[in-house]
Amino acid sequence: MDDATRSELAALLAEVERRAGDEALTEEQRERLDHGDPVRHVLRRAEGGRLTGYAVIAPGTPLAAEPALGSFDLELAAALECLGRPVTLLVREDADLVEAELVERGWMPDRALRRLRRPLPAAPPPPTDLVVRPFEPGRDDEAWVRQNNAAFAGHPTQSHMTLEKLRARFRTEWFDPKGFLLFFDGEDLVASCWTKVHRTSRGDVGEIYVISVAPGAQRRGLGRLAVLAGLEHLAGAGIATAELFVEEVNVRAIALYEELGFQMVSRVVELRYDGPAAQPVPTARPTP
């Protein structure tokens, strides 16, 4: 995009966020734009030329497309279907309706997340013999990346954390090491709770951003401990609402979060399109 279009896009995304009280793009796609990564841009304009919608398509197999909030329509789906390559589409609003529409067009559900929220404060964390302290950049980087990737082995996004990605987070406006809690059993990092505060036009929201428990330390109640410790930190910072995202297939985690007072407020769905469904091959009839 040229500079003029980039300015238009920045204004559009800022207006979307002001109006919706939410981030216009997910963190992953916003980082791609901020870092100048190679992506394709989809722009929608009104008759007078005003920019009214935006989507970004990231390279890979499959391609990964995401519309900004308020930017999805079936024309976008049709354009993606014409690319001639497998593509995923992430939808964060009206997810149930959009999912039904796209399934009719030959898209297949690939992934779903639940967005859960609860008011703060919450119950205090239970007593623990673990050492709990804030993350220290430069000291804990490698240990946390190892622990996180082991905890999320096989996860479509969380299992690919790198030192470079972690340290890029250090440079963001929202990063606060005091809200990045580590739990040690002796010298072993057994769990962590990373929180993030979203400054929105409708008030600040504290996110339980990443919860991880080392594989060898599971079934010790550390997930509950880490979440409650994160909620306590957010409440102490004056945050009145907490949220988190959880994979819809992770029924154990959903049960824990609901027990801790979280309730679902929306769904996020990702669908995949691999091309028109193959037509059945007619059965050959024997010659009389």
Question: What one-character-per-residue DSSP string does 49-64 give?
Answer: S-EEEEEEEE-SSSEE
Residue 276 pLDDT greater than 90, yes or no: no
User: What pLDDT shows up at residue 158?
Assistant: 78
Mean pLDDT of the 70-97 span: 95
Report pLDDT for 138: 97
- The pLDDT, as a whole number, for residue 92 is 94
Name the pTM for this structure.
Answer: 0.90
Q: What is residue 77's predicted lDDT score, i.e. its pLDDT?
A: 97
Q: Is the pLDDT of residue 288 over 50?
A: no
Distance separating alpha carbons of residues 229 and 227, to the nearest angstrom: 5
Burial class (CB in 10 A: 0-12, 13-18, 19+), 197: middle
- Summarize pLDDT for 114-146 with one digit per residue, the tens: 999 999 999 999 999 999 999 999 999 999 999
Q: Is pLDDT of 259 > 70? A: yes
Specify the pLDDT at position 277. Answer: 60
Is the Cα torsion angle 271, 209, 227, 264 positive or negative in sign? negative
In the chain, DSSP assigns E strands to 40-45, 51-58, 63-67, 87-91, 108-119, 131-134, 180-185, 188-200, 203-213, 241-247, 263-273
What domains can be seen in the chain, in order of their start residue? 3-112 (3.40.630), 121-239 (3.40.630.30)
pLDDT band at 175 (very low <50, low <70, confident <90, very high): very high
Whether residue 214 has pLDDT greater than 50: yes
